[in-house]
Amino acid sequence: MSGPNGDLGVPVETGAEGEDDGFAEAEYAAINSMLDQINSCLDHLEEKNDYLHARLQELLESNRQTRLEFQQQLGEAPSDASP
């Protein structure tokens, strides 16, 4: 996991070639873990977005139906009142 500033939490060491390979593997593992977390968050946001989109579509359709019914009532009211 990373810290609030994006620190990988992996100490930076300089030394022999073998140590550099170990550092690179640890760094790649930390980056992969961070990318997995980001991917998970994005998937969650996408699910929320899809849910909200569906609810908004339902609300829009409901408002259209209500508006049409209201307009029909207004249009029929004067003709019902006249003999």
What pLDDT is recorded for position 50?
98
CA-derived radius of gyration, the chain = 30
Q: Which residue has the higher pLDDT, 49 or 76?
A: 49
What pLDDT is recorded for position 7?
58
Q: Which residue has the higher pLDDT, 20 or 71?
A: 71
Q: What is the pLDDT of residues 21-74, one digit of tens each?
A: 888 999 999 999 999 999 999 999 999 999 999 999 999 999 999 999 999 999
CA atoms of 13 and 22, how far apart (whole Å)? 10
Has residue 80 got a pLDDT over 50?
A: no
